[in-house]
Chain A
Amino acid sequence: MIEVTELTKLYGSTRAVSGLTFAVKPGQVTGFLGHNGAGKSTTMRMILGLHTPTSGRALINGVRKHDLRDPMREVGAMLDAAEVQGGRSAFAHLQALAYAGGIGRRRVVEVLEEVGLAGAARKRIAGFSQGMRQRLGIAAALLGDPGVLILDEPANGLDPDGIRWLRTLLRSLAAEGRTVLLSSHLMTEMSLTADRVIIIGQGRLIEDASMADLLARFQSGVLVRSPHAARLSRALEAAGATIGPARDTDAGDELVPGRPAAAGADARPARDVGAGAELLVTGLTAAVIGDIALANGCAVHELVSRRTSLEEAFMEITQ
């Protein structure tokens, strides 16, 4: 359980975090979202006792971090996987951390196996790829088998297999009753991993909701492609539907970092758009739309229920 109450942090006159209040409950994965500079990392550092809040409180299991009796067994953190000394082997790095918490060698071997680094345990961290460093950071967070996990962008640099592995790991940790707070800019991944979302902007809370509620609140619709678009849209409007221009539905596919959003839009016309116009229909289900099309003798080439992606919801909320 993490409780943040009226948390504020000033750096000089800059408000990094401003009156932030939220709770991260056990048993679920909570996604922590916000643009760069929104205050996510600062908030995480305050929860972990690394930065002193200007005012307000951040509690882990009801107490401040430095009042935890056995910190490694209560909270595990990964803030930045690049923040390691490269001269050591992965094993020595983890063993040094483990010693500080009175944790034995067997657990070090265990977490190395769990994150898939057993084969690289004796290699110097300096030679590690970003994905391996990420796994090492996660291993360090897991060392004390803690009930609370705080992970800042753990999926960065992981390959698709790694991302899937991380998702399964985090979901199983939450299922065991642990508290998992996770920040990420990978929205599709976040929507698959997190049960709850906390969104902040300019250090303030913007949204604190379950993933399902958040997505349900945003307009979704049905994408219809028909050679008889004009006739069909009249019929649908008569049935109470709202017809909007079809938007790029691939927007959620941002798994490839740095891929420009426009690339998806550019790719679409390559498909046989000439065969019909696309309509984005809201207010009717796909089944009803199909029935109306049949009743009006309109051919339908594509009929897809469209969910709002977390990315779209995030962009709209944080605008």
Chain B
Amino acid sequence: MINVIASEWLKLRSLRATYYVLAATLSALALTGFAAYSISRYFDTNGPGGDPVGTGLSLSADIPPVLFGMLGVFAISGEYTTGMIRLTLTTIRSRWTLLLAKAAVVAAVALVAGQALAFATFFTAQAVVAGRPIGASFAEHAALAEVLTTGVGSAVAGVMGLGLATVLRSTPGALIALVVLPLSPTVLERFLPAPWNDWVSSLTIPSLARQLAAIPDAGAFGPLTAAAILVGYVVLSLLPATLAINHRDA
């Protein structure tokens, strides 16, 4: 298993798409910076009363799950579209090892990069806020917790992307699913009666990350339920993917 992880780590490192995805995470920083600047200007002219910037993470929270989901997609979809998966599968003992190795590598990279991005986002926002009383500080326990759980959300998104691409075996298909799935709770919540609308809107990864950090009014669930749902996402992504890779002709 450790051999296959080494192999997958090298594969991910030698893939251009990996670097494109990581470069694209900078867009989250830019977006946070602009939004924090706009909120700070509002504060300067109108005084307190508007939305605070807080940690700044919620300003670009929808971006990291999509980007790290793409990282997971590219970790396997290229092998399917080129047919290299066949060569890979002839070199390993059991197919699920391959999937688990890929999941481990994607989760690790997304966790580290997602964490780095979350910290960078926090510091960008605080730099723009520049001491106005609308920011946040690591002196507050909740702020640090929110930054840390955002990284966890990125890792879960990476594994979900990998699972989607394994089941769909198509790069465009997986990318479309990756964009549409996180949007659907936002659409559904408008039509659903209470408390269903609240529950559904609490199911997105950014929302779950905040609930996991026990941020007040973050959603319908507590930290334990949020953690269970995130674990459920990982299982729900990997289980069909394992069945698919084990039983389908390659």
Chain A residues engaging chain B, CB cutoff 8 angstroms: 45, 48-52, 65-66, 68-69, 71-72, 75, 77, 79-80, 82-89, 92-93, 95-102, 140, 143-144
Q: Are B7 and A97 in contact (CB under 8 A)?
A: yes
15 further interface pairs, Cβ-Cβ under 8 Å (given A52-B249, A87-B78): A45-B86, A51-B250, A66-B94, A71-B90, A80-B86, A85-B15, A85-B79, A92-B14, A93-B14, A95-B10, A97-B87, A97-B91, A98-B7, A99-B7, A101-B92
What would 14 A/B residue contacts be, using CB atoms closer than 8 Å?
Answer: A50-B250, A52-B249, A75-B90, A77-B87, A79-B86, A82-B82, A84-B87, A86-B82, A95-B10, A97-B91, A98-B7, A99-B3, A101-B91, A144-B91
Which residue of chain A is the closest to B17 with respect to CB atoms?
A87
Which of B79, B83, B93 makes the CB contact (< 8 A) with A71? B93
Q: Are A100 and B88 in contact (CB under 8 A)?
A: yes
CA distance A51 to B86 in the complex (A): 10
B88 proximity list for chain A (CB < 8 A): 97, 100
A68 proximity list for chain B (CB < 8 A): 93
Q: How far is the CB of A67 from chain B (nearest CB, A)?
A: 9
A95-B10, A99-B10, A101-B3 known; A87 vs B15 contact (CB < 8 Å): yes
Interface residue? B11 (CB, 8 A): yes
Q: Are A50 and B90 in contact (CB under 8 A)?
A: yes
Q: Are B250 and A92 in contact (CB under 8 A)?
A: no
A98 proximity list for chain B (CB < 8 A): 7
A50 proximity list for chain B (CB < 8 A): 86, 89-90, 249-250
**Count of residues in B whose CB is under 8 Å from the partner chain:** 28
Q: Are B91 and A85 in contact (CB under 8 A)?
A: no
Which of B10, B84, B92 makes the CB contact (< 8 A) with A85? B84
B6 proximity list for chain A (CB < 8 A): 99-100
Contact with A along B87-115 (1 / 0, CB 8 A): 11111111000000000000000000000
CA distance A51 to B248 in the complex (A): 8
CA distance A71 to B3 in the complex (A): 13
Q: Are A71 and B87 in contact (CB under 8 A)?
A: no
Interface residue? B16 (CB, 8 A): yes
Q: How far is the CB of B74 from chain A (nearest CB, A)?
A: 10
Q: How far is the CB of A16 from chain B (nearest CB, A)?
A: 11
Q: How far is the CB of B188 from chain A (nearest CB, A)?
A: 37
Interface residue? B227 (CB, 8 A): no
Which residue of chain B is the closest to A77 with respect to CB atoms?
B90
Contacting A at CB under 8 A, from B1-20, are 3-4, 6-8, 10-11, 14-17
B86 proximity list for chain A (CB < 8 A): 45, 48, 50, 79-80, 83
Q: Are B90 and A83 in contact (CB under 8 A)?
A: no
Interface of B is mostly: helix
A52-B249, A72-B91 known; A83 vs B7 contact (CB < 8 Å): no
Q: Are B10 and A102 in contact (CB under 8 A)?
A: no
Q: Are B14 and A89 in contact (CB under 8 A)?
A: yes
A92 proximity list for chain B (CB < 8 A): 10, 14
Q: How far is the CB of B87 from chain A (nearest CB, A)?
A: 6
B16 proximity list for chain A (CB < 8 A): 87
Which of B4, B84, B90 makes the CB contact (< 8 A) with A48? B90
Which of B7, B78, B84, B250 makes the CB contact (< 8 A) with A100? B7
Q: How far is the CB of B56 from chain A (nearest CB, A)?
A: 34
A50-B90, A75-B90, A85-B79 known; A100 vs B249 contact (CB < 8 Å): no
Q: Are B83 and A87 in contact (CB under 8 A)?
A: no
CA distance A49 to B90 in the complex (A): 8
Q: How far is the CB of B235 from chain A (nearest CB, A)?
A: 24
CA distance A143 to B3 in the complex (A): 15
CA distance A134 to B76 in the complex (A): 23
A140 proximity list for chain B (CB < 8 A): 87
Which residue of chain A is the closest to B89 with respect to CB atoms?
A50
CA distance A25 to B14 in the complex (A): 39
Q: How far is the CB of A270 from chain B (nearest CB, A)?
A: 45
CA distance A69 to B15 in the complex (A): 29
Q: Are A83 and B83 in contact (CB under 8 A)?
A: yes
B10 proximity list for chain A (CB < 8 A): 92, 95-96, 99
Which residue of chain B is the closest to A46 with respect to CB atoms?
B249
Q: Are A88 and B87 in contact (CB under 8 A)?
A: no
Q: How far is the CB of A96 from chain B (nearest CB, A)?
A: 5
Q: Which 5 A-B pairs have the closest CB atoms?
A: A83-B83, A99-B7, A100-B7, A92-B14, A51-B249
A86 proximity list for chain B (CB < 8 A): 82
Q: Are A88 and B83 in contact (CB under 8 A)?
A: no
Which residue of chain B is the closest to A11 with respect to CB atoms?
B249
Which residue of chain B is the closest to A80 with respect to CB atoms?
B83
B250 proximity list for chain A (CB < 8 A): 45, 50-51
B4 proximity list for chain A (CB < 8 A): 99-100
Interface centre among A52, A80, A82, A88 (most CB of B within 10 A): A88
CA distance A75 to B90 in the complex (A): 8
Which residue of chain B is the closest to A72 with respect to CB atoms?
B91
Q: How far is the CB of A216 from chain B (nearest CB, A)?
A: 36
A51 proximity list for chain B (CB < 8 A): 249-250
Q: Are B90 and A85 in contact (CB under 8 A)?
A: no
